Amino acid sequence: MTAQPSTNKKVTLEELADLCVRRGFFFQSGRIYGGLSGFYDYGPLGVELQRNILNSWWRWFVELRSDVYGLDGSIITHPRTWEASGHVESFIDFLVSCKKCGSEYRADALLEELGIRVTSLTAESLKRAIEDHGVRCPVCGGELSDPRPFNLMFTTTVGPRREQPLVAYLRPETAQLIFTNFKNIVFAMGATLPFGVAQYGKAFRNEISPRGFLFRLREFTQMEIEYFVNPRKLNSCPYFEEVKDLKVNLLTAEDQEEGRQETREITLGEALERGFITTAWHAYWIGESLRWLWSLGLDPRHLRVREHVKSELAHYAVQTFDIEYYFPFMGWKEIVGISNRSDYDLRRHQEYSGESLHIVDDGEKVVPHVIEPSFGLERVILAVLTEAYTTEGSRTYLRLKPEIAPFKVAVFPLVKRDGLDTKALEVYRILRAHFRAYYDDDGSIGRRYAKADEIGVPYCVTIDGQTLADNTVTVRFRDTREQVRVPLSSLVDTLRTFIEKGVTRAETSYTVSAGKEPEGR
């Protein structure tokens, strides 16, 4: 067994949110009118970070594979879709309200915030926990009502009919659009098992108590894959060798039900062999999801794989694992869910639509089973920003991987005179044709470096007097503040190499001369 992760990070949610708002990553939507809880707008830097992470996800899971196709489904679809999927009936949380002041809370979230763990998420068990622990309204101390179900889907109407408008829903997940298009994709692409369909896009959930900055929102972006497998071949995964030796921090349902919260370090191969993960395809997608998260810079020690206990399994799931990140300000929280959905969705859509959703594999008609890795983009971003947030004395910077940093390079003249600014603008125009770059000549060079560090720019290019003499520039590394001189003629190629290889410090093999930014700049 392994203990809880140690972390030197002291960042609070308030500090992280302050940086994100101040530097233009995110803004609360409608803030000039007082804001609307659970909705955030991406600012100029947030848009860049979002695009970079989305592009990384798409490249990893779609472009570099031959067995996954893309889809972009509509936000509003035929309402029977959500009846068939079970969302109309089962997509609920339990709401409690204060009998005195009227404040409303999501029952399990309220208990969790008070350190009260409930393994069975039913109205009865939640009511019992509230009564046993004497939980009162956090606002006024009033008595709480009994928990009651609350459906999380947003409703809308379609068309102009006033008397009997068509009631529809904003999609609460992207997955169902993949299932309803299954037959179309098989026909159009000639798809054969096993194969997957990936899409990312907005989803909407009318959360009772959105909180945690980007963590629990009412409008958010999902990145999902539905991977279709012959039910007779759930353990015939040709890619499993690629991940079987990966070590993961696993917390099983049995451990949790017996009151244990420490994870066990185990390889995915051992987890499959011992029956902790029941199918090879499920284990594979856990491993592949972890590998992508690691590529973003998340520390493996800050990630664990937690199995859902029976009482929290979704209505469609046979077995589900969450990949959780350890946030220093709120503990372990889910950022990815990976479910074995069996053939639940396709069979339900067959039943409700009357359309056959089988596929022929090895000469027999089968309704495939599905493994679903589902990523919450905003939660992944929050984890990446938390991991990257670094303080050294009075210095704060974001240690973002160059691949996903909003700006790859900043260009500065050492001073705004003597022709240095003219030369710096010339260099900036060259670089912006190749990289997301920005130019700044306002204030001291030290303050400009500090701003670039705070928004995660991995490389700063400075034009100084020597540039005019020998056509070389200074490249400064964000993490170490080391500096190297690079010929202007090879600057684009050098920066491209740095970004592709994630270089974060000076190496004499590619420098003319190396040094370090003087302290106190």
- For residue 64 the two structure tokens come to 């570099």
Domain with residue 452: its CATH number is 3.40.50.800
Residue 8 lies in a domain: no
Domain count of the fold of the chain: 3
pTM: 0.91
Query: Are residues 171 and 147 part of one domain?
Result: no
Query: Are residues 347 and 427 part of one domain?
Result: no
pLDDT tens digits for the chain (521 residues)?
Answer: 444 454 446 799 999 999 999 999 999 999 999 999 999 999 999 999 999 999 999 999 999 999 999 999 999 999 999 999 999 988 889 999 999 999 999 998 899 888 887 777 788 989 999 999 999 999 999 999 999 999 999 999 998 877 778 899 999 999 999 999 999 999 999 999 999 999 999 999 999 888 889 999 999 999 999 999 999 999 999 999 999 999 999 999 999 999 899 999 999 999 999 999 999 999 999 999 999 999 999 999 999 999 999 888 888 899 999 999 999 999 999 999 999 999 999 999 999 999 999 999 999 999 999 999 999 999 999 999 999 999 999 999 999 999 999 999 999 999 999 999 999 999 999 999 999 999 999 999 999 999 999 999 999 999 999 999 999 999 999 999 999 999 999 999 999 999 999 998 887 445 444 444 444 33
Query: Are residues 238 and 381 part of one domain?
Result: yes
| Predicted local confidence at residue 8, as pLDDT | 42
| Predicted local confidence at residue 113, as pLDDT | 84
Helix, strand, coil percentages, rounded to 5, for the chain? 35, 30, 35
DSSP state of 59: I
In the beta sheet, which residues pair with residue 303? Answer: 325
Query: Are residues 309 and 450 part of one domain?
Result: no
Domain with residue 134: its CATH number is 3.30.40.230
Query: Are residues 158 and 146 part of one domain?
Result: no
Burial profile 282-313: b = 16 or more Cβ within 10 angstroms, e = fewer: bbbbbbbbbebbeebbbeeebbbbbbbbeebb
- Tokens 């009997």 belong to residue: 164
User: Among residues 128, 151, 174, which one ends one of the domains?
Assistant: 151
Query: Are residues 132 and 45 part of one domain?
Result: no
Residue pair 291/274 in contact (Cβ under 8 Å)? The answer is no
Residue 64 lies in a domain: yes
Query: Are residues 343 and 207 part of one domain?
Result: yes
Residue 290 lies in a domain: yes
Domain with residue 215: its CATH number is 3.30.930.10
Residue 124 lies in a domain: yes
Query: Are residues 346 and 267 part of one domain?
Result: yes
Query: Are residues 212 and 77 part of one domain?
Result: yes
Query: Are residues 176 and 141 part of one domain?
Result: no
| Predicted local confidence at residue 511, as pLDDT | 46
Task: Give all strands (DSSP E) within 55-194, no chain letters.
Answer: 68-70, 92-97, 104-106, 148-151, 155-158, 166-169
- For residue 402 the two structure tokens come to 């160059």
User: Among residues 131, 151, 171, which one ends one of the domains?
Assistant: 151
Query: Are residues 34 and 105 part of one domain?
Result: no
- For residue 61 the two structure tokens come to 């899971």
Residue 4 lies in a domain: no
Query: Are residues 481 and 382 part of one domain?
Result: no
Residue pair 10/391 in contact (Cβ under 8 Å)? The answer is yes
- The alpha carbon dihedral of 306, 310, 312, 315 has a sign of positive
| Predicted local confidence at residue 211, as pLDDT | 83
- Tokens 């503040």 belong to residue: 481
| Predicted local confidence at residue 519, as pLDDT | 40
| Predicted local confidence at residue 9, as pLDDT | 62
User: Among residues 151, 169, 188, which one ends one of the domains?
Assistant: 151
Which one, of 213, 204, 191, 168, lies nearest residue 37 by Cα?
A: 213
Residue 283 lies in a domain: yes
Domain that holds residue 353: 13-91+152-386
